[in-house]
Structure 1
C-alpha cells in the first residue's frame, strides 16, 4: 500500500436563508451533527474543523458580517473520497436540497488545495485560498473539482 504525498484540503461556505437558530433552518441545523459524523466515518476522511459555527472569539469568525454565513473545511485522502461524501449518501441528499436552506443569490462557494499529510489548515490559510482562487483563478495551487490540479493526485511515496 502506498501513502499519498498529498491530501486534499477543502473549504466551503454558504449563506443560509435565515439565522442558524431560525425554525426555517431547523431540519438542516439538526442534521449537521449526523452529517459530520458520517463524514468522519467516510472512507478517505482525514480531518475536519470541529465546528462550523465556532465561538465569536475564534480567529477569523465571523467570516462575513452576515451571521447567516456558515463554513466548513476538511482534509481528505483523495478527491474521489471527498466527491463520494459530498455528492452521495446523506450529505448528497442534503446537497440536493440546498436551495431550501441556502440563499442561492448570496455569497457561497468552495476551494480545494493540496496539503502534506498531517497539516491541518487554520481559517487564515483557508480564507487565503479563497482569495487566491478569486484573484488568480484555478491553478495547481488552488482549484475546484472542475479544474482539479493533477500534479499531486498520482504522486506516491
Structure 2
C-alpha cells in the first residue's frame, strides 16, 4: 500500500541560533509538537539526523532520508550560526491522518503563530506525494516536489491538501 510523503519548508525571520525570545519560543513549541505528532494515528516516520547539533541541517547525517537539501529560493545561511529555516520530511498512511495531525492540537497552535517566526513567501510551504510501500523519500525528493508544485500547481506528482490526489492519480477530498 502506498504511503504519503510530506515535505514542509519555511524561511525563518531570524537564524535558529538567535537567542531572542521568539526563537526560543519556536524551539519550545517544536520540542512539544514533534512527540505529539509522533503519537498520531497514521504517522509512520520522519527524517531525523543521526548526528548534529541544534540548527545544523546541511552537514548532518540523515541516513536513508538522503543528503539535506533546500529549495532554490532559500537564500539565507547554511551554518549552525546563520541557518534560518524550519523543515520536515515525514511519512503518513494517508491524507486524513496527516490533515488531522496538522490542523489539531499543538501543531494547530503553532500554525496560528507562524507569522511570528516565518517570513511570508509567495512559494508553497508544503507538498505531498505518494511513495511505494518501503520507499523512504529523500530531502532532494521533497525539494523537487515543492519546486514542481510552485511552478505547475497541484498534480498527482506534487499536491496540497486543498487540491489532493489518491495514489492512482484521481482527485481526492480531504474535508
**TM-score normalised to the size of structure 1?**
0.83
After TM superposition, give the deviation of residue 125 of structure 1 in Å.
1.2
Answering whether residue 20 of structure 2 is matched by residue 10 of structure 1, we say no
Q: Counterpart in 2 of 1:131? A: 147
Q: Structure 2 residue aligned with 1:99, among 115, 135, 143? A: 115
Answering whether residue 168 of structure 2 is matched by residue 146 of structure 1, we say no
After TM superposition, give the deviation of residue 99 of structure 1 in Å.
1.0
CA distance in 1, matches of 2:105, 2:5: 20
CA distance in 2, matches of 1:107, 1:136: 12
Answering whether residue 133 of structure 2 is matched by residue 117 of structure 1, we say yes
Answering whether residue 68 of structure 2 is matched by residue 60 of structure 1, we say yes
Q: Structure 2: 5+ residue runs without aligned partners? A: 61-66, 77-82, 171-175
RMSD: 2.4
CA distance in 2, matches of 1:108, 1:132: 10
C-alpha spacing 1:62/1:130, structure 2 compared with 1 (3 Å): closer
After TM superposition, give the deviation of residue 95 of structure 1 in Å.
0.7
1:68-88 deviations in Å (ceiling 9; x for gaps): 122111111111111111110
Residue aligned with 1:18, SS: coil
Contact 1:14 1:106 in 2 (8 A): no
Contact 2:124 2:150 in 1 (8 A): no
Q: Counterpart in 2 of 1:31? A: 29
**TM-score normalised to the size of structure 2?**
0.76
After TM superposition, give the deviation of residue 61 of structure 1 in Å.
4.3
Residue aligned with 1:39, SS: helix
Residue aligned with 2:145, SS: helix
Contact 2:70 2:143 in 1 (8 A): no
More contact order relative to length (CA 8 Å, sep ≥ 6): 1
After TM superposition, give the deviation of residue 128 of structure 1 in Å.
1.3
More helix by share: 1
Contact 2:69 2:140 in 1 (8 A): no
